[in-house]
Amino acid sequence: MAEKKKEDLMEKIVSLAKRRGFVFQSSEIYGGLSSCWDYGPMGIELKRNVKNAWWDYMILKRDDVEGIDCSILMAPQVWVASGHLKNFTDPLVDCKECKKRWRQDKLEDQSKCPECGGGLTEARNFNLMFKTFMGPLEDAGAIVYMRPETAQGMFVNFKNVVNSSRQKPPFGIGQIGKSFRNEITPGNFVFRTREFEQMEMEFFVPPEEDEKWYEYWKNQRLQWYHIYGIRPDNLRLREHDKSELAHYAKACADVEFMYPWGWDELEGIANRTDFDLKTHQEHSGKDLTYFDDQTKERYLPFVIEPAAGADRATLAFLLDAYDEEVKENGETRVVLHFHPKLAPVKVAVFPLMKKDGLDEIAKKIATDLKEDFTTFYDQSGAIGRRYARQDEIGTPFCLTIDYDTKEDNAVTLRHRDSMEQKRVKIEDLTRVLKEEIKNWKR
């Protein structure tokens, strides 16, 4: 895609997101709060569907992964042990002329300001964790941190899950939840924000099996994005070279997506070795080893971690789904080709006219379908306009109730992607729609 077209795409997505209720700027009526965003009625459904798709694939459909939900505030010692208090820093530089702040490691030319060309200050390490106080006293003993990743919740609960479930390595613990990072340069809409949601899973394995499982999870995660409709050309796996690895990682790969600004991280998959369990064992004084009854061996499991961002994935699904198609009559159709399971609305129901009882039949169908699908009823405007409004939010199926419905008890089912139409008996609708969703292919 040409550079201009790519820039346009981002602008179009931001504008559509606001116009159709996907994403709004936080506190907009007060001028907005930098890098904070609110999900609107369509956005919350899309993001919930993305999270459910992750939970379903990573936890519910598997016998070897358990879910948990940990508190955002954790004991401060957790961040000492994990290394975040000491190492979770970015090098911050200020422009001496225009006073803009930059992350030094992200600058192509680290000697001058990319905006005005001015000289830069020496880099200072800036800790990304948000600090707050627990209780009424704002003194050093009351400091707690907003978690910068959900992962530590899984490590500190390793023993609890082993003791309360019947899992033994190889097995995983996953959670979805908010994380907070005081990013120096947030931006690109919901790509990098200071408050965001992560979908992380820690897979605990016998040490000698780490490389096998690392390969396995890289493939699984790539496959997940394929299943939910991201075009393979827009995805790639990029293995980190040694200099990029975090202090705890033996290997790491990013699932990268082709954003309008180029290839960039969507999710990371890391081999964290036994770093986390070992350090929590040392700092807490609690035994976090696993004893294998069969081999009579005691060991600290290694961890393979697929760590995804719910907001970043939502953005990638939005960007990838967006299309403008020029119709035969020269008009442009804006359409989001979401996987039906991700689409905020699955079925829209329209009476051809809001009279002669067609509206009553349509309302009844919409109410019945709500049992199984997110359904939207719309009786206003020309039918073509109603289709266009649904295409723009990615509704995969529209049903029109017309005068023939009274005779044949059938409705017209229109597909978003092909725009093909077929008649379906009202009594078959739930079954047919379920099959359509199951068999959908991009």
Interface ranges with ligand GAP (CB under 6 A): 149, 151, 181, 183, 192-193, 196, 198, 200, 265, 267-268, 307-309, 311-312
- Tell the smallest beta-carbon distance from residue 193 to ligand GAP (Å): 4
- C-alpha 272/C-alpha 336 separation (Å) is 37
Residues 6+ apart with CB under 8 A from 49: 341, 342, 343, 344
Q: How far is the CB of 314 from ligand GAP (least distance, A)?
A: 10
Sequence-distant (6+) residues with CB within 8 A of 192 are 35, 183, 185, 186
CB of 327 to ligand GAP, least distance (A): 36
Nearer to ligand GAP, 246 or 432 (CB): 246
Please state, in angstroms and rounded to a whole number, the distance separating the CA atoms of residues 84 and 82.
Answer: 6
d(C-alpha 128, C-alpha 149), whole Å: 11
CB 83, min distance to ligand GAP, A: 12
**In this complex, which beta carbon is closest to ligand GAP, that of residue 189 or of residue 373?**
189
DSSP state of 57: I
DSSP one-letter code for 185: S
For residue 272, what are the CA distances in angstroms to 63, 80, 128, 211, 432? 23, 17, 21, 11, 45
Q: What is the closest distance, in whole angstroms, from the C-beta atom of residue 424 to ligand GAP in the complex?
A: 39
**Half-sphere exposure in the Cβ direction for 395 (13 Å, CA):** 26
Q: Which is nearer to ligand GAP, 168 or 250 (CB)?
A: 250
Q: Which tokens belong to 143?
A: 């400091």
The CB-of-344 to ligand GAP minimum distance in angstroms stands at: 21
* Minimal distance, residue 254 CB to ligand GAP, in Å: 7
Residue 398 to residue 415: CA distance in whole angstroms: 7
Q: State in angstroms the smallest separation of the CB of 181 from ligand GAP.
A: 5
Nearest to 234 by CA among 324, 323, 107: 323
Q: Which is nearer to ligand GAP, 269 or 348 (CB)?
A: 269
Closest CB to ligand GAP among residues 128, 388: 128
| Residue whose C-beta lies closest to ligand GAP | 309
* Shortest Cβ 293–ligand GAP spacing (Å): 30
* Burial call 274-300: b when 16+ CB within 10 Å, e when fewer: bbbbebbbeeeeeebebeeeeeeeebb
C-beta closer to ligand GAP: residue 190 or 321: 190
Contact assessment for residue 9 and residue 260, using Cβ atoms and an 8 Å cutoff: yes
- Considering the complex, state which of residue 174 and residue 309 has its C-beta at the smaller distance from ligand GAP: 309
Nearest approach, Cβ of 318 to ligand GAP (angstroms)? Answer: 14
Closer residue to ligand GAP, CB minimum distance, 84 or 416: 84
Report DSSP state, residue 162: H
- Considering the complex, state which of residue 36 and residue 419 has its C-beta at the smaller distance from ligand GAP: 36
Which of 253, 300, 252, 295 lies closest to 275 in space, CA to CA?
300
- The secondary structure of the chain in percent helix, strand, coil, rounded to multiples of 5, reads 35, 30, 35
Q: Is the Cβ of residue 186 or residue 344 nearer to ligand GAP in the bound state?
A: 186
**Coil, helix or strand at residue 215:** helix
- Alpha carbons within 13 angstroms on the beta-carbon side of residue 36 total 14
